[in-house]
Copies of this chain bind each other. A is one copy, B any other.
Amino acid sequence: MPVKAKEEKMNIKKIIQWSVMAGIILMLALPALAGDPNGAETYTNDIAGMKLAINFTWTLIGAFLVFFMQAGFAYLGAGALRVKNTVNYFTKSYMDFSIGALAYWAVGFGLMFGGSKLYPGLEDGNAWIGWSGFFLTGDAYDVQTIMFWMFQVVFAATAATIVAGAVAERLKIQAYLIYSIFVTAVIYSIYGHWIWGGGWLSTLPYGVGARDFAGSGAVHAIGGFVALAGVILLGPRIGKFNKDGTPNAIPGHDVGMIVMGTFFLFFGWFGFNPASTLAATDLRISVIAVTTFLAGAAGATFVCYATYFKTGKVDIALTCNGALAGLVGITAGAAYVAPWAAVVIGIISGMLIMFGLWFNEWKLKIDDPVGAIACHAYNGVWGLLAVGIFADGTYGGVKGLIVGETGQIIAQAIDAVTVAVWAFGTGLILFGILKYTIGIRVSAEEELTGLDIPEHGTSAYPEFVIAGPFDGKR
């Protein structure tokens, strides 16, 4: 789309730089023909081959649904922000999966699953970090490894996206383009190695070791606690807090976008959780879909009635956050708990997000425009703990308090502390370095006029008459 129509000469220098990069990729890749890149050795015309084909189908379609969550995050977040920052938020939402995919391909996947030996080309690594599978070359150019990568990359992209909402309306795009690489390639991936890549958390000597089925911790809490660090170092938006420390409400610009974004995320979550079995031959997938659905429904229903009983009005934006809170809360335990427990987990998630939003605004006095921290960090931790409480022993040998086992909750608590400390700590370091080098916050002037014009040269709705930038003071 030719948004800008002055004559544009391609910058020769940049083309050369990119070409050099492409050349490096080429050199890396050319000696790469190994593994089983077309399935000729992997697929067989028997039951084993059928299982592969079914499970590829299930996992890949699951990955596509998780990809679609990016659209949900974009819509939800943009709707919850003001018109003047809409292009900026959409840009961040769009770019993090793009940049993130390249970063995860080059670096993150190798750090996360190297040494897991789950698939060909993932041989090297230890309990703390992996170092094979980079660039999907060599033995990792294999249909199974690449199937697995496809499912993992969409998860990696989610973590970075979560941060974008919390730091919205005031973070420099330059800082964003850098941090999203580091979150995906390093922070997310190293922790992911500990829990999913065969690392130390998964082998803790309590219960069966820490378990985080689809990533309440590995994805949501990671994103949420990095966001918390970012928000603290950034400071609140101008106008968010009064001189006496009381917060002002800064409503988003499009309630429909919030609701539709939530629908999209809910839809994608049916890939996120059920497909995390990586197998449809594992019939537990039906239970996982249902626990996911019920927890999200319970979270929304609780918040809906709670806001209605409290104020006489139904707060739909908060209700949507209730649904997402329930979904985050069930994500770690979706495979391990029964439907009734999913309802209980979802209700508690609904309570927790209402409490968390209040706590962040009134006690911590931090400014998280979309409620990402309460939704993803707090409910991520809750999801990890819920495994230790509600796992009923019917899947993976995971047994929680309700069936009388006390070991699992210890593993889960260690995991929860670990994810919070790791993500918050590395988040502080990352945003701290950015803050004292290139800077992370736009100027006050840019913030007041909104980021769309200065950072993108266009407003989101050029023809609509807008009542003027809303600065929290009207």
Contacts and interface: CB of A to CB of B under 8 A. Distances in A.
A283 B59 CA distance: 12
A384 interface: no
A53 B282 CA distance: 8
A323 B98 contact: yes
Identical chains in the assembly: 3
A18 B347 contact: yes
Interface stretch (A44-52, A222-230, A418-426): A44-52
Contacts of A448: none
A455 B55 CA distance: 47
Interface in A44-74: 45-47, 49-58, 60-61, 63-65, 67-68, 70-71, 74
A255 B460 contact: yes
Interface in A78-122: 78, 80, 82-83, 86-87, 90-91, 93-95, 97-99, 101-102, 105
Interface string A440-474: 00000000000000111111111111111010000
A321 B1 contact: yes
B254 A461 contact: yes
A39 interface: yes
Residue in A97, A256, A305, A351 with the greatest tally of chain B CB atoms within 10 Å = A256
B460 A463 contact: no
A65 to B, nearest CB: 7
A4 B311 contact: yes
A14 B82 CA distance: 33
Nearest to A62: B61
A295 to B, nearest CB: 10
B60 A94 contact: no
A136 to B, nearest CB: 5
Contacts of A311: 4, 457
Interface stretch (A25-33, A209-217, A430-438): A25-33
A146 B320 contact: no
Interface stretch (A124-132, A194-202, A353-361, A406-414): A353-361
Given A33-B394, A91-B314, A5 B70 contact: no
Given A32-B338, A141-B339, A339-B136, A25 B57 contact: no
